[in-house]
Structure 1
Amino acid sequence: MMRQLLALVMLTLALASPGMAQEEIVADLSQRQVPITADFDGSELILYGAVKRETPISVTEPLSVIITVAGPSNPVTVRRKEKVAGIWINTDAVEIDSAPSFYAISTSRPLNQILSETEDLRYKISIPRAIRSVGAPQAVTDAHEFTNALMRIKAANGTYQARPNTVAFFDQTLFKTAITLPANLTEGTYKVTLYLTRDRHVVTSYSTNLAVEKVGLERFLYRLAHDQPLVYGLLSLFIAIVAGWGASAIFRYFTG
């Protein structure tokens, strides 16, 4: 009897717990693979989905949607140039521990209105939080400026995108957005994450993967260059010799 009573109390506490998700995300992508070919000039990724509910829609505390697309993360060295004796040279340098090669964030409302600083720190959703920079040389007193410079450079070439108010959210149930993928994508597995927030707190999330990879002849040459560099070098030399001999033969034919 005591064991049954204890189980009932635990079930009641679980149901009353604020961490229990009363909404779930059902979503999909317009494509699961982005093929990179010689003439690849970018693509458009469409994300769409719906909110699956176990309770009625809350009118007083409406939901908001955040969607992020993150490319593979790698260390990045950011250098500062200064003019010394009339010449621009590299001076200070900071190695950022991990930065995504591509990062796009789309929201149904401005991010600061739907996500608290605490939740952003926990889930690392905003662009500054997605970049991990732990330490810097003691001689560099403004290390945060190097991170800001990296974000400016990435934003300028389209690989970092902050896109507020670009998620269409219909009747607190259906949502859709489109994200532009630039031509300078890095090959790898991209993580797509969708968050539902209420009262600036994350209610639930959903993640899936997107494959960005070279295909066809481009993939063969890329793999050959990385896996068998000697064979790739010899093949390149052979092609160059044949091309040179062919051009010379054609020139002699028309001039001889």
Structure 2
Amino acid sequence: MWRTLIALLFFAAHPALAMEEEIVLGLSQDRVAITSTFDGSDILVFGAVKREAPIPDAEPLEVVITVSGPSEPVMVRRKEEKFGIWVNVDSVLVDSAPSFYAVATSAPFNEAISHTEDLRYKVSVPQAIRSVGADMNVQNAQEFAEAVIRIREADGLYSLREDTVAVDQQTLFRTSISMPANLIEGDYKTRIFLTRGGKVVSQIVTDIDVRKVGLERFLFNLSRQQPAIYGLMSLAIAIFAGWGASAAFTVLRNR
């Protein structure tokens, strides 16, 4: 009795908590298999908003979705032409950059989430990259992180897809995330944010498992665990391929 009364008084004093919105998430697939014929994959992200009260009479609900691949350090070098030769003049080790990063929003990014919340949750592509170890002598060190973004955007590894999340009646949402063929193995963290007025009101995190399978998995493990055998096998295949091409050319020439 007393516990129920205390709970009612608590939610009366904190109405925002009583009207909390939660995410019920779904994925079309939570595992991506990389094979010799793999040319990319589309992941359907969909879900619903669970409420204990009617839809708040405030700003419309927006949804922001991010998919992030494994992070790794990246060495970025800047070249300049000197005496007709391009040479490296500066280099910066970007401490951590995701191998893949996609952001999808239900509205223009700056309307879907505020700058303060972006800094807090590291949602946008620039915020997902961490570069704090640049040499003090390197000028415009931030340009090196921007170069990583520019290069990976051109390769289809980084993207911002505004207005691509469909939200129905502030309850159901869905979008499709395209993953290119040049993925690396690992767990791809998927985050979904619900926002109102640019402020995050709920979030959920899940993983998509990306792995090589079949012959690709065997060769990958062999190259890491038995590099000597992998090297000898590669040499034997190269010799056999060269001999086979030479024999075929000889047969064709003698006809």
TM-score, normalised by the number of residues in structure 2 = 0.90
Instruction: Give the aligned partner of residue 63 of structure 1.
Output: 61
Instruction: Give the aligned partner of residue 102 of structure 1.
Output: 100
In structure 2, the CA distance between the partners of 1:253 and 1:83, relative to structure 1 (3 Å rule), is: closer
Instruction: Give the aligned partner of residue 24 of structure 2.
Output: 26
Q: Aligned Cα RMSD in Å?
A: 2.4
Kept in 1: contact 2:156–2:180 (CA 8 A)? yes
Deviations along 1:169-188, whole A, 9 cap, x unmatched? Answer: 01000111011111111111
In structure 2, the CA distance between the partners of 1:186 and 1:171, relative to structure 1 (3 Å rule), is: same
C-alpha separation in 2, matches of 1:9 and 1:28: 31
Kept in 2: contact 1:19–1:203 (CA 8 A)? no
C-alpha separation in 1, matches of 2:181 and 2:83: 38
Identity among equivalent positions (%) equals 55
Kept in 2: contact 1:79–1:94 (CA 8 A)? yes
Instruction: Give the aligned partner of residue 203 of structure 1.
Output: 201
Superposed displacement of residue 134, structure 1: 1.2
Instruction: Give the aligned partner of residue 217 of structure 2.
Output: 219
> Pairwise mapping of residues 1-256 of structure 1 onto structure 2 (< 5 A)?
8=6, 12=10, 16=14, 18=16, 22-246=20-244, 255=254
Superposed displacement of residue 114, structure 1: 2.3
Kept in 2: contact 1:21–1:204 (CA 8 A)? no
C-alpha separation in 1, matches of 2:34 and 2:151: 23
Superposed displacement of residue 83, structure 1: 1.0
Superposed displacement of residue 31, structure 1: 1.2
C-alpha separation in 1, matches of 2:34 and 2:74: 23
Q: Which amino acid aligns with 1:52?
A: K
Kept in 2: contact 1:44–1:178 (CA 8 A)? yes
